[in-house]
Amino acid sequence: MFFLFFFKQQVKTALKYTLVFALVCSCLLLVGAFAPLDIPSGKNISEFDKIKILFQELGSGYGLDALSFSISSLTLIGMLATITYTAYGMSALPLNLIKGTRNVHYERLENTEDIEEVNLEIERLRSKCRDGRPLSSNDRKKLYKLEEKFRTLQRKERHLETREMSGWTKCCSIMRPFKIIWGIFLILVALLIIVSLFLSNLDKALHSAGIDTGFVIFGTNITNPLNILLPILQRVFPLDYILITVIIMYFFFTSMAGIRNMGIWFFWIRLFKIRRERTRPQALLFLCMILLLIVLHTSYMIYSLAPQYVMYGSQKYLVEGSTIRNSSKMISVNCDANAPDDQCTVTRTYLFLHKFWFFGTIYYFGNWVFIGVFIIGFIVSCCKGKKSVIEGEVEDDDSDLSDNEEPLDIYA
C-alpha cells in the first residue's frame, strides 16, 4: 500500500511539472506566431488598418515565427546563464590552474592548530558552569557556535587526512607544470574571445543599422581574429567545424567551472551547491538544464565573434577593377550587403537569428555585460589566494543538505 501511495504521489508531481512545461512552451509558440513584425507607423494609418495588417500577417509564415520566437526566448535565458557562469568561469578556471592549490600537509597543520584553539575556548566556557551556575545567553550562543565550528574542523581534518594519503594528490603534484601550461593556454583563448567580441560589438556600435533593427550589420568594417580565421578555414573541410567545436567545448567546460565555483543561484538566493559525491539530484538536473541553455546561446555567440562567417561564410563575388588597354580586370571581394543577390546568399542561420529585432538588441547589450563580468571576474580571481585542496567539500554555512548526508547504500 505504501509503495502504491508513493507511486501515485510521484506520478502527480511528474504530471504537474509536465503540464507547466507544456503551458510555457505553448505560450511561447503562441506569442511567436501572433507577434507582428512589420506594422507601418505612419500618421495616416488608423487603428483599424493596423489590426487588419495584424491579421494578414497571422495568415502567413506563423509557424517559422513561432519556432524562432520560442528558441530566441530560450536563448535569452541562456544568455543570462552565460553572463553569470561562463564569463566568470573563463577567468576562474585558467587562473586556478596556474595558481594551484595549497599544500595539503601545511593546511592540515593549520587545521590542527585551529582545532586545539577552539577546543580550549570550549573548555573555558564549560568551566564557568562546573559549580552549578548556568551560562548566560551570550555564552550559550557562543558555545553553540564554537561546537559547530569544532565539528566542521573535525570533518575538515578527516577530509584532509584522506586527501594527504591519496595517490591522486601525488599525481597532481607531478602534473603541476602541465596544469600551468594548460592554464596559460586557456587564458590566451579567453583573451582572444574577449578581444574578438569587443571588436565585433564596437563595429556594430559604429556601423550597424541602429537599435531599432537589432544592431544588424551589413558588412565587416572592424575585423577581428576569429572573423578572419573562420572564413579561411572554411575553404578546407572540416577545419572550420573543428574550430567551432573547440569554441563550444571551451564555453561548456568554463561554464561547468563557473557553476562549480559559484553554485546554482536564483537571483540572490543560493539554491544548490555542486560538490563531488555530495550533489543533490535536483542540482544535477538544474546543472544539465543550464548547460543546455548555454550551448543554445553559443549560436548567437558564434555570430557575435564572427559575423562575416555566419552571414556569408567564405563567399566572394566579382567586381570590376582597374582598366588596362580598354579591358577591365575582374577582382573578387568578400560578400557583403552590397553584393548582388545572384552571387551572394545570406545563410539561413543569420536570417533565423534576426527574425525578431528586439532579441538582437538584447543580445548586443548582453555581450557588453559579458565582457564586463569577465573583467570583474578576472580581477577577483587574481586577487584571491590559492584554493584549499578540499575546496567546497566542507563549509561552515551549509545550505545544501547533501553535505551533511553520508552516501547511502541502496542495496542495504
What pTM did the predictor assign?
Answer: 0.73
Residue 48 is predicted with a pLDDT of 47
Please report which helix (H) or strand (E) contains residue 377, including its range: helix 357-383
Give the range with max mean pLDDT: 55-64, 150-159, 218-227: 150-159
Measured CA to CA in angstroms, residue 390 lies from 108, 155, 160 at distances of 11, 11, 7
Round the average pLDDT of the chain to a whole number and report it: 76
- Which range among 1-5, 316-320, 351-355, 358-362 shows the weakest confidence by mean pLDDT? 1-5
Determine the Cα–Cα distance for residues 127 and 283; give it in Å rounded to an integer.
44
Per-residue pLDDT tens for 161-199? 777 777 777 787 788 888 889 989 999 999 999 998 999
Query: Is the confidence at residue 110, as pLDDT, over 70?
Result: yes
Give me the helices (H) in 208-238, please: 225-233
Give the residue, 212 or 47, on which the prediction is more confident.
212
Per-residue pLDDT tens for 330-356? 777 777 766 776 777 777 777 666 677
Phi, psi of 185, deg, nearest 5: -65, -45
Residue 63 is predicted with a pLDDT of 55
Contacts of 283 (CB under 8 A, 6+ apart): 264, 271, 272, 273, 274, 400, 402
Per-residue pLDDT tens for 367-398? 999 999 999 989 988 888 777 777 766 665 54
Query: Is the confidence at residue 6, as pLDDT, over 70?
Result: no
Query: Is the confidence at residue 44, as pLDDT, over 50?
Result: yes
